[in-house]
Amino acid sequence: MIRALEYTGRPFIYIFEEFGRIFTFLINAITWMVRPPLRLRLVFKQMESVGVQSIIVVLITAVFTGMVLALQTFYGFRMFGGEGLVGATVALSMTREIGPVFTGLMVTARAGSAMAAEIGTMRVTEQIDALYAMSVNPIQYLVMPRLVAGVLMLPFLTIVSDFIGIMGGYVVGVFLLNINPGIFMARMVDMVNLGDIFNGLIKSACFGLILSLIGCYKGFNTRGGAEGVGKATTQTVVLSCVSILISDYFLTAFMFR
Amino acid sequence: MIRLSNICKSFNDQVVLDQLNLTVEPEKITVIIGQSGCGKSVLLKHMIALIRPDSGQVIVDGEDITSLDEKGLNQTRKKFGMLFQDAALFDSMTVGDNVAFPLREHTRLSEKDIEEVVFEKLKLVGLTESFHKMPSELSGGMRKRVGLARAIALDPKIILFDEPTTGLDPIMKDAIDGLIMKTQELTQATCVVISHDIDSAFKIANKLAMLSDGRIVESGTPEEFQASKNPVVVNFIKGHAETNNQN
Amino acid sequence: MLKLSAEAKVGIFVVIGIIILALMAMKVGKLGLRLGEGYEVQAFFDTASGLASDAPVEIAGVEVGRVNKIRLSEGKALVTIKIYPGVKITESVKAIIRTRGILGDKYIELLKGVEGAALILAGGRILNTEPTTDIDNLMIVLGEVANDIRILSHTLASVIGGEKGEASLRSILDNLDKTIQSINRTVQDNDENVKEITSNLSAFSQRLREIGDTNLDDLQIILKNIRRATGKIGELVAGINQIAGRINRGEGSIGKLVQDDATIENLNKALTSLREITDKISKGEGTLGRLITEDQTADRLDQTLSSMQEITEKINRGEGSLGRLINDDETVESLNSTLSSINDLLKKQDMFLTYLDYRGEYLFESNRVKSYFTLRIQPREDKYYLLQVVDSPRGKETVTDTIRTVDGVTITEKKVESKSSDLQFSAQIAKRYYDIGFRAGLFESTGGAGIDYYLFKDRLKLSFEAFDFDVERRPHLTFRADYKPFKFLYLTTGMDDFISDIGRESYFVGGGFSFSDEDIKTLLRSVTFTARTD
């Protein structure tokens, strides 16, 4: 009986343990963030890798999402003559949901996995031990810049994604579906508030933290050679994506009420 | 210089070190020999506190490093240089940057001076032409030499070598052995070498120690080892041909 | 291709991001930017059902404000409205909660009332309100009205119709008849009293006539005097008329002055009080009234009026200094400019502020506190001078690294000379354009410059400073965020010297307080006040 309980309870205990470890890891990284040296150069390098190098993939995702959104909502709204609302719908969905979430997912796939793989490789080839041996804290040297870059860059990627997505929607709506451009813009400006944009950006900063935290954590705790690195990378992508979607619900519930 | 007393360490119920005692004499080359997987690397990593013991003390320069916090540990670690098994060079940096790394972190030298020192160290290991290469472009032996250059960049008082000759061809092995001796001679540093290669061990060691079943079973000069009657030592010396290929 | 550093790439990206954000914010949040400005008025509604905060307030379909907050007060909904600056509403305005379309959001419509009613100022109240009038409500009210009408006609029918109704009608008529009879009787009974009152009245008028006869002489004198005075006044008025004619044509300086509305208002006031005085005089009130009745006074008045006439004539001809003054165009101009410059000066005096400020920053790296005492003199809102004493825990530090090579082994030696603590001085001049401020001058005893960005009604200030441009070292860069949750106190955090190549980079947190001279005055006053009451 007790063994059966133990058997079923173990996964839950494991989940809680993992939660606790990730949280401790985050606290550790934050304390190392406020200790000198600041390592701005490394932060910038990570910002380039997380932010600048993800622009293309984020742009492509955003523009096509905006376009397909315009197309789909158009057919829906046409049934009761509300074609003018297509712009507002595209803009609201982009700024509130699709911009932040899709950016988070794409950056997870691009940069989160890279973090896990890079740090994981450094772990299995003793490069992390080497950092310790040279009196350089790897949390500060490797993890902190990635976390900072994730939190800072995601909002910028998101704002670009919002903009491009809306542009995509505009092109499809106005040029392909012949919605009056004036009405398209007016309705959009009417319905979208500054708060929608900013809340989306706050969300994306949270996603940035989640994906870089999980990437670093999984990489940092890699065991078992090349196979371990592969496993860590896969786990990172899966766990990050799931966490982003779950936290998206709670953040939305909390912010938009 | 370094004294380990009553060190116990186990991983997941598996005892690796058991009441281990060892004293490393200053300004000499001490080689710790033992079978693969007997815990030699674990022992070495205790000396620089990369691994903390379950119980026991590690005393470096009269200071117990097991009780130090991160800040104190960083001070102590600056006395050390360490050459890792696969050199552990940072893949993202050039050879020059790798060697310059500890200098950039812990000195306030100008870039020009740093370059000078790096060149100096690379010259010592004979790899000046690889200055701008990435570690992935180097062979195993070259990587180890770069690792050595990086380990001695800050002129440490203690240098730790984790299996420096494993996986190298005999000529490269000889070259590395020569480098270890040359470095020791120049810097008068205390060197601790982990090896299961009995030939190199006898060649470079001032002192030898044998690790088996989590304890030091024998220690002394190479001559004393040759004359040892301890069956574990005798087996290891005689059976080196079999053990050599196992790693 | 040009090879950019990571910093440059990130920088370009961030700038693009900020530009896009600013574009979108401006497009979407055109009102968001204005939310902070304007003035508040209040209005009571019977119900504010469906009305939300931030709902628009419109006049003739043009948005002129936003609903700020809605709360319950005295059983009604008290709605606070923020009206945008420049929009004026009068007390006769009527506020109605309306619905956009059939399903749309609620908003408040202001119906413009009568022209010329008094303006509602900040904090005022719109008295005339009407709650939501949507179709449902209309139907309910209509239903109620119909119901009432039905009940009324029903009662009427039951009162008038039938025997019972007839009977009550007859009794009403009977009562009326009785009442009229009793009034008649009352008048007859009091016949004597009425006669008495009439005789009293006639006696009173008799007395009045007697009084008139005895004072006839006096009255005649008064009338004669007044006639004489009127003659003189007539001449005076003719002279004034001449001047007025010139004034009307806009000649001379007074003519110009008169064309000014303010002057007219003043004149009006003066005339009103003059009229009051004349009223009093004609009633014989006050000393003047009494004086006029005397002969001597009349003579003096006569003389005065003559000389006044002379003066007016002289003025007219442009003689004498006053005449010249009044006839000279330049005088007015110089007077005008003098007045306006006095006005400016007064305004400047109003804005001239001096601030005293203390700031403490805890530096994580050195575990010590850096203190700033600041005197800020602000002659204009967009400009200030800053004098600062900085108590820096690190002081000046010189680091020298030397390398020695012995037998092919390099040894590095490091020598650090430092003063533990040092006082440094800053003197800066600052200028502000909208939300961005620039500073330049002495920063901690070295030359430098800084940029400030003000957010959230100046509650948050982001500053970036660069100074200590030494050839040997990297410049001292500081980034700082000041947040001001209260009027006097603020919190600060940032990074100090963050590209330092001698290990001085540090995060810091801290806080401070800032008082203007006005605040200090107020404080002192309240302190003395409490001291006195003790």
Taking one residue from A and the other from C, the number of pairs with CB-CB distance under 8 angstroms is 71
Q: What is the 3-state secondary structure (H, E, C) of B17-85?
A: EEEEEEEECCCCEEEEEECCCCCHHHHHHHHCCCCCCCEEEEEECCEEHHHCCHHHHHHHHCCEEEECC
How, if at all, do strands C125-126 and C446-455 pair?
unpaired
Residues 6+ apart with CB under 8 A from C416: C397, C398, C399, C400
ipTM: 0.85
Cross-chain residue pair C6–A48, CB shorter than 8 Å:
yes
Which chains border C (3 or more CB–CB pairs < 8 Å)?
A, B
DSSP C456-520: TTTTEEEEEEEE---SSS--EEEEEEEE-SSSSEEEEEEEESTT-SSS--EEEEEEEEEEEHHHH
B223, B228, B208, B200: which is closest to B31 by C-alpha? Answer: B208
Of residues C379 and C482, the one with the higher pLDDT is C482
What fold characterizes domain C352-524? Answer: Porin (2.40.160)
Residues 6+ apart with CB under 8 A from B199: B240
Which residues on C lie below 8 Å from A36 (Cβ)? 364-365, 503, 505-507
Cross-chain residue pair B84–A129, CB shorter than 8 Å:
yes
Contacts of C249-256 spanning 24+ positions with Cβ under 8 A: C252/C326, C252/C327, C252/C329, C253/C325, C253/C326, C253/C327, C253/C328, C253/C329, C253/C331, C253/C332, C254/C326, C256/C329, C256/C332
- Dist. CA B120–CA B131, nearest whole Å: 11
Which residues on A lie below 8 Å from C25 (Cβ)? 194, 197
B237, containing H or E segment: helix B231-238
- Tokens linked to C251: 């000649």
Residues C350-374: tens digit of each pLDDT: 567 788 888 888 887 777 888 888 8
Chain B contacts to C (CB-CB under 8 A): 107-110, 113, 116-117, 120, 124, 155, 186-187
pLDDT tens, position by position, for chain B (247 residues)?
Answer: 788 888 888 888 888 888 888 888 888 888 888 887 788 888 888 888 888 888 888 888 888 888 887 778 888 888 888 888 888 899 888 999 999 999 888 888 888 888 888 988 888 888 888 888 898 898 888 888 899 899 888 888 888 988 888 888 888 888 888 888 888 888 888 889 988 888 888 888 888 888 888 888 888 888 888 888 888 888 888 774 444 444 4
DSSP A123-158: HHTTHHHHHHHTT--HIIIIIHHHHHHHHHHHHHHH
Report the residue from B73, B74, B88 with minimal CB separation from A130: B88
Residues C289-298: tens digit of each pLDDT: 555 555 566 5
Which chains border B (3 or more CB–CB pairs < 8 Å)?
A, C
C93, C95, C115, C117: which is closest to C106 by C-alpha? Answer: C95
How, if at all, do strands C94-99 and C128-130 pair?
parallel
Instruction: Judge contact between C397 and C373, C-beta under 8 A.
Output: no
Highest mean pLDDT among A104-108, C174-178, C333-337, C438-442: A104-108
- Tokens linked to B17: 């070190």
Chain A contacts to B (CB-CB under 8 A): 118, 121-122, 125-127, 129-130, 132-137
Q: Mean pLDDT throughout C429-448?
A: 85
pLDDT bucket at C530, cuts 50 / 70 / 90: very low
At B241 the pLDDT is: 42
Instruction: Judge contact between C390 and C426, C-beta under 8 A.
Output: yes
Which residues on B lie below 8 Å from A129 (Cβ)? 45, 50, 84, 88
* Amino acid at position C389, single letter: V
Report the residue from A118, A127, A135 with minimal CB separation from B88: A127
Cross-chain residue pair A132–B50, CB shorter than 8 Å:
yes
Predicted confidence (pLDDT) at residue C258 exceeds the cutoff of 60: no
Q: What angle do CA C202, C207, C210 make, to 5 degrees?
A: 130
- When scoring B11, B68, B91 by the number of chain A Cβ atoms within 10 A, the one with the most, hence best to mutate, is B91
Cross-chain residue pair A135–B105, CB shorter than 8 Å:
yes
Cross-chain residue pair B90–A127, CB shorter than 8 Å:
yes
The CA R_g of chain B, rounded to the nearest whole Å, is: 18
Percent over 70 (pLDDT), chain B: 96
- Tokens linked to A252: 């939305």
pLDDT tens, position by position, for chain A (257 residues)?
Answer: 677 777 777 778 888 888 888 888 898 888 888 777 778 888 899 999 998 889 999 999 999 999 999 999 998 888 877 777 888 889 999 998 999 999 999 999 999 999 999 999 999 988 999 998 888 889 989 999 999 999 999 999 999 999 999 999 999 988 988 888 888 888 888 788 888 888 899 999 999 999 999 999 999 999 888 899 999 999 999 999 999 999 999 888 887 66
Q: Which of residues 22-81 of A touch C (CB under 8 A)?
A: 34-38, 40-41, 44-45, 47-48, 51-52, 55
Instruction: Judge contact between C356 and C401, C-beta under 8 A.
Output: no
Report the residue from A125, A127, A136 with minimal CB separation from B105: A136
Cross-chain residue pair B84–A132, CB shorter than 8 Å:
no
Report the residue from B50, B74, B89 with minimal CB separation from A129: B50
Sequence spans of domains, chain A: 42-256
Total number of residues shown for chain C: 534
Which residues on C lie below 8 Å from A55 (Cβ)? 13
- Dist. CA C28–CA A195, nearest whole Å: 10
At B243 the pLDDT is: 44
- Dist. CA A233–CA C363, nearest whole Å: 38
In angstroms, the separation between the Cα of residue A17 and the nearest Cα of chain C is: 32
Cross-chain residue pair A197–C507, CB shorter than 8 Å:
no
SS3 call for A250: helix
At A241 the pLDDT is: 94
Cα of first residue to Cα of last residue in chain A, in angstroms, is 44
Which residues on A lie below 8 Å from C7 (Cβ)? 41, 44
In angstroms, the separation between the Cα of residue B109 and the nearest Cα of chain C is: 6
Instruction: Judge contact between A25 and A121, C-beta under 8 A.
Output: no
Instruction: Count CB neighbours of C341 within 10 A.
Output: 10
- Dist. CA A209–CA A154, nearest whole Å: 9
C8, C23, C19, C1: which is closest to A51 by C-alpha? Answer: C8
Cis peptide bond N-terminal to B231, omega within 30: no
pLDDT bucket at C526, cuts 50 / 70 / 90: low
- Dist. CA B119–CA B126, nearest whole Å: 10
- When scoring A163, A187, A194 by the number of chain C Cβ atoms within 10 A, the one with the most, hence best to mutate, is A194
A47, A43, A224: which is closest to A120 by C-alpha? Answer: A224
Of residues A248 and C209, the one with the higher pLDDT is A248
In angstroms, the separation between the Cα of residue A64 and the nearest Cα of chain C is: 19
Report the residue from A36, A51, A197 with minimal CB separation from C13: A51
- Dist. CA B74–CA C396, nearest whole Å: 26
Q: Does B13 touch chain A (CB under 8 A)?
A: no
In angstroms, the separation between the Cα of residue A56 and the nearest Cα of chain C is: 12
Which residues on C lie below 8 Å from A194 (Cβ)? 25, 28-29, 32
Chain C contacts to B (CB-CB under 8 A): 399, 401, 403, 405, 407-412, 414, 501-503
Cross-chain residue pair C498–A51, CB shorter than 8 Å:
no
Cross-chain residue pair B70–A137, CB shorter than 8 Å:
yes
- When scoring A135, A137, A139, A146 by the number of chain B Cβ atoms within 10 A, the one with the most, hence best to mutate, is A135
Instruction: Judge contact between C326 and C314, C-beta under 8 A.
Output: no
Residue B230 gets which letter from DSSP?
Answer: -
Distances in Å between the Cα of A80 and the Cα atoms of A74, A189, B22, C223 are: 11, 21, 86, 92
Which residues on A lie below 8 Å from C27 (Cβ)? 189
